[in-house]
Structure 1
């Protein structure tokens, strides 16, 4: 019994470090999102304003850890994940989907009566989606899903809706590597909804949620278990 306890004592520091290493470094995450925004952001060709898009990456684990600085020569193999190819995919609104080796991206796909949102395009169908294929390429990699605007309450986060992303997030939870679901702005129709706290906790139930607002500032939204979603990840209260 004494020897078992002694062995556990010696093993514990490495085990603890391994668990901690499975969380994205938040400063590195800010640099990753800034890299994505600089290279792949969807911009309206007419007015130059940014438009909703989503990107997911699956990269080696060390690229999400402390002190990594993404650059064209060391991240996402820019020559392969060509920004022009991504922009062409965004422009084709009958498809609006790009699938590369380490990066997938989507704009919005026009249907007769509605637009399919970028999050749903990447995450559905849940068991055979572009995200499924991306995760299968590197089983222990760091996977980051970034959406310019937060998933909409009425469609993407409706657990009973046909375009819900929640089942896909449940599947993503089983991926063994580092995971981060990130958004920047709030979906334009959702900031006044009182249930964003509850809806965002549906994401956190499966994968860690972050909000990145600049190249130097990301927030961990928390919300695990009975804890609340951090105020930085919710719209400011109305006066």
Structure 2
């Protein structure tokens, strides 16, 4: 009888443990709130987007580490963690073709939570690749070193153009290992790769096949402006690409 009495509480305890583990799993796979992402990417468009003489909107990549609320709660305000002053400092560097990094002695921004770059015109290295390589010593690695409690933060990697198929996804300079390096350090955290426009030379490529390769490593989103209104969606579910993330049919 004593043995039975000792066993009695074990059933509800197991149930409680299961529910706790289930909750943790749900928390771990929860995606970025796209309504919040709209405000963030619109802020980048208004305050960071570099301009050039030949391009109204030039290609650039930016990664930002923010408190989790900035990726989940609609009432959050990106300016509280990435001020207009900081955004202007980043834009000034990008407009000059300079990099915004964290290991320059004088940090790019006082908040020390942003890295950004345009493509290197001399070496032809793409902006995404510059931020993610060399592995373990990249600008992204420097950013993640400041991420003391992974699950309390969110990291958003933004590229104005989608990663190009020929170089970023299939070529020798592809970004897959760089993305894996990032995610392996933040398995318990919230992460997102976001692009805005389809790279011009990829509008006839089979992105239905290529985009899932990125999404398999890090959740892929697109934020697109239509009639000056920003909208964001997750690109891949069950290995199927949402038409919102694909080129418009001609």
Give the TM-score, by structure 2 length. 0.80
| 1:19 to partner: Cα distance | 4.0
Stretches of structure 2 lacking an aligned partner (at least 5 in a row):
1-6, 102-107
Confirm or deny: 8 A CA contact 1:126 1:165 kept in the other structure. Answer: no
Confirm or deny: 8 A CA contact 1:56 1:103 kept in the other structure. Answer: yes
**Cα root mean square deviation, aligned:** 2.3
Task: Tell whether 2:169 aligns with 1:157.
Answer: yes
| 1:12 to partner: Cα distance | 4.9
Query: In structure 1, what is the equivalent of residue 48 of structure 2?
Result: 40
Counterparts of 1:57-206 in structure 2, within 5 Å, are 57-72=64-79, 74-79=80-85, 81-83=86-88, 85-93=89-97, 96-99=98-101, 100=108, 101-111=112-122, 115-139=124-148, 140=150, 141-158=153-170, 161=172, 163-174=173-184, 175=186, 176-194=188-206, 196-206=207-217
Distance 2:143 2:154 in 1: 11
How many matched pairs?
Answer: 225
Which of 231, 236, 243 is equivalent to 1:217? 231
| 1:146 to partner: Cα distance | 0.7
Confirm or deny: 8 A CA contact 1:27 1:216 kept in the other structure. Answer: no
Confirm or deny: 8 A CA contact 2:47 2:91 kept in the other structure. Answer: no
| 1:223 to partner: Cα distance | 4.1
Distance 1:5 1:186 in 2: 53
Confirm or deny: 8 A CA contact 1:181 1:209 kept in the other structure. Answer: yes
Distance 2:26 2:34 in 1: 13
SS in 1 for 2:240: coil
Provide runs of 4+ in structure 1 moved above 6 Å: none
Confirm or deny: 8 A CA contact 2:99 2:116 kept in the other structure. Answer: yes
Distance 1:68 1:121 in 2: 33
* Offset from partner CA, 1:3-56 (integer Å, 9 cap, x none): 444224335555544444442111111111111211111112x36711111111
Distance 2:210 2:44 in 1: 26
Task: Tell whether 2:244 aligns with 1:232.
Answer: yes
Stretches of structure 1 lacking an aligned partner (at least 5 in a row):
none
| 1:60 to partner: Cα distance | 1.1
Greater helix share, 1 or 2?
Answer: 2
Distance 2:189 2:246 in 1: 27
